[in-house]
């Protein structure tokens, strides 16, 4: 299906895609490109890559599928480096957690939006990163959201869709704006809150004791605060508007809860907690019964 796949940023996401396509027997050669030679060597030795290049122009030569899996803050410079070297039939896609910023970076780098560009975001991952964290089944039963644009060629979209389906993922399409709003609320905001809470507690005087007393619930609640700080800085900058909107919405609702605590309004607190419990339990039912999500 793919003759030569070129991956920029050979980490958990790109590495796992390569391993899944190899397992499916649907990729000829896999070429990697990235800043860390040590990571590229790792990727070679665990069978993700056939070879690597440190020059982006060399890396994309002859590739019919190019995956941008670098941090959001590096998208623009990679695009500038490859724009004059892409093969005529090359399809370009990415795995960025925010889509609006990637679309703008690609447009700015190429001067106009290439018809062969298909923005994408696999909703998958772990707190680990790097090539050694990659595994072939990462995308099985996970959602991959594609956000094609009016300029996007239907054939390019079809190729990217098929590539992800070969990994076992379920592909959906939505708009760039809608993707960014939903992810701001369900992923970016929770990460901000978890990072913020842990940092807030860590700044306090008796932090050793604070963490020593923290129970299991705290561990679950703050697990995502162990994610890659650079990646999350880039996401905050890239999806700034939608995150600020989601945060403002949440702050207003949190303020109402605070008022209820202050006013000792047990009815309002109970109503809020009951609605949340119903919604959370229903969310778990959706997850448990949807073949496309499955248990984690």
Site for a copy of itself in 110-149 (CB under 8 A): 123-125, 143, 145
Task: Label the pairing between strands 65-68 and 27-33.
Answer: unpaired
Alpha-helix residue ranges (DSSP H) falling in the chain: 12-23, 37-45, 56-60, 75-82, 100-110, 154-166, 176-183, 189-202, 207-213, 216-222, 229-238, 240-262, 266-289
Least spacing, CB of residue 83 vs a copy of itself, in Å: 25
Least spacing, CB of residue 107 vs a copy of itself, in Å: 20
Binding mask 232-261 for a copy of itself (x = CB under 8 A): xxx-xx--x--xx--x-xxx-xx--xx-xx
- Site residues for a copy of itself, 87-106, by CB under 8 A, read none
Least spacing, CB of residue 119 vs a copy of itself, in Å: 15
Count the Cβ atoms, other than its own, within 10 Å of residue 144. Answer: 23
- Among the listed residues 65, 19, 33, 61, the one whose alpha carbon sits nearest the alpha carbon of residue 157: 65
Residue with Cβ nearer a copy of itself (88 or 286): 286
Question: What CA–CA distances, in Å, run from 82 to 17, 90, 198?
Answer: 21, 11, 40
Residue with Cβ nearer a copy of itself (154 or 262): 262
Least spacing, CB of residue 7 vs a copy of itself, in Å: 22
- Site residues for a copy of itself, 66-85, by CB under 8 A, read 73
- Cα separation, 244 vs 189, in Å, equals 9
- What is the Cα Rg of the chain in Å? 21
Please identify which residue in 88, 150, 154, 296 interacts with a copy of itself, judged by CB under 8 A.
296
N-terminal to C-terminal alpha carbon distance within the chain? 29
- Among the listed residues 241, 234, 296, the one whose alpha carbon sits nearest the alpha carbon of residue 69: 234
Residue with Cβ nearer a copy of itself (41 or 206): 206
Question: What CA–CA distances, in Å, run from 296 to 49, 138, 141, 287?
Answer: 28, 11, 10, 9
Least spacing, CB of residue 14 vs a copy of itself, in Å: 18
- Among the listed residues 195, 203, 200, the one whose alpha carbon sits nearest the alpha carbon of residue 225: 195
Please identify which residue in 154, 262, 289, 291 interacts with a copy of itself, judged by CB under 8 A.
262
- Site residues for a copy of itself, 15-34, by CB under 8 A, read none
Q: Is 266 in the site for a copy of itself (CB under 8 A)?
A: yes
- Site residues for a copy of itself, 163-222, by CB under 8 A, read 182-183, 185-187, 189-204, 206-207, 209-222
With beta carbons less than 8 A apart as the criterion, state whether 143 and 123 touch: yes
Least spacing, CB of residue 270 vs a copy of itself, in Å: 4
Please identify which residue in 38, 158, 162, 270 interacts with a copy of itself, judged by CB under 8 A.
270
Least spacing, CB of residue 88 vs a copy of itself, in Å: 35
């Amino acid at each position: 299906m793919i003759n030569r796949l070129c991956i920029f940023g050979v980490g958990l996401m790109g590495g796992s895609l390569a391993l899944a396509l190899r397992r499916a027997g649907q990729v000829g050669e896999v070429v990697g490109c990235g800043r860390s030679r040590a990571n590229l060597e790792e990727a070679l030795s665990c069978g993700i890559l056939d070879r690597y290049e440190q020059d982006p122009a060399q890396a994309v030569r002859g590739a019919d599928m190019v995956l941008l899996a670098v941090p959001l803050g590096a998208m623009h410079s990679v695009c500038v480096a490859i724009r004059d070297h892409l093969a005529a039939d090359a399809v370009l896609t990415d795995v960025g957690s925010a889509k609006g910023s990637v679309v703008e970076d690609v447009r700015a780098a190429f001067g106009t939006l290439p018809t062969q560009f298909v923005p994408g975001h696999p909703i998958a991952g772990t707190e680990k990163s790097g090539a050694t964290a990659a595994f072939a089944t990462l995308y099985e039963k996970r959602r991959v959201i594609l956000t094609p644009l009016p300029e996007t060629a239907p054939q390019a979209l079809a190729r990217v869709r098929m590539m992800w389906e070969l990994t076992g993922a379920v592909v959906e399409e939505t708009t760039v704006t809608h993707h960014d709003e939903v992810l701001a609320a369900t992923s970016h905001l929770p990460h901000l809150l978890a990072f913020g809470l842990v940092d807030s507690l860590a700044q306090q005087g008796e932090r050793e004791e604070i963490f020593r007393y923290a129970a299991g619930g705290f561990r679950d609640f703050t697990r995502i605060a162990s994610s890659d700080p650079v990646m999350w800085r880039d996401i905050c900058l890239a999806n700034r508007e939608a995150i600020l909107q989601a945060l403002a919405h949440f702050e207003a609702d949190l303020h109402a809860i605070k008022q209820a605590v202050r006013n000792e309004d047990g009815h309002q607190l109970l109503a809020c907690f009951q609605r949340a419990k119903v919604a959370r339990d229903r969310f778990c039912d959706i997850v448990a019964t949807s073949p496309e999500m499955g248990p984690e």
